[in-house]
Amino acid sequence: MQEQHTVGAKKEDLKRSKYIMKIWLRDIEPPIWRRFQVPGNISLYKLHQIIQIVMRWQDYHLFQFTIKNKAYGEPDLDYGY
């Protein structure tokens, strides 16, 4: 992921900034990956939805984002979070 703004940026700067993201699946041959662009002020919920669309997934599995060692996602007591 290429970051085009810094943490702590002002709200108006986030509206104008963008992230260029690349997602790839590990241990798959041939490689499967997607590159896409999202606004800098995107929520994790919306980012999750976009990932589902660009990867052509149907939201069947649990997901989790980790930012600075803090986990975000759907809680699941079976998996301890």
Domain spans of the chain, in order of start? 2-79
- Whether omega before 30 lies within 30 degrees of 0, making that bond cis, reads yes
**Could you tell me the two tokens for 21?**
């993201």
pLDDT at residue 6 in the model: 46
Give the Cβ contact number of residue 23 at 10 Å: 13
**Alpha helices (H) along the chain:** 11-16, 44-54
Q: Has this prediction a pTM greater than 0.85? A: no
pLDDT digits (tens, 9 = 90+) for 30-75: 999 999 999 999 999 999 999 999 999 998 877 888 889 998 887 7
Half-sphere exposure (Cβ direction) of 49: Cα atoms closer than 13 Å:
6
Q: How confident is the model at residue 2 (pLDDT cuts 50, 70, 90)?
A: very low
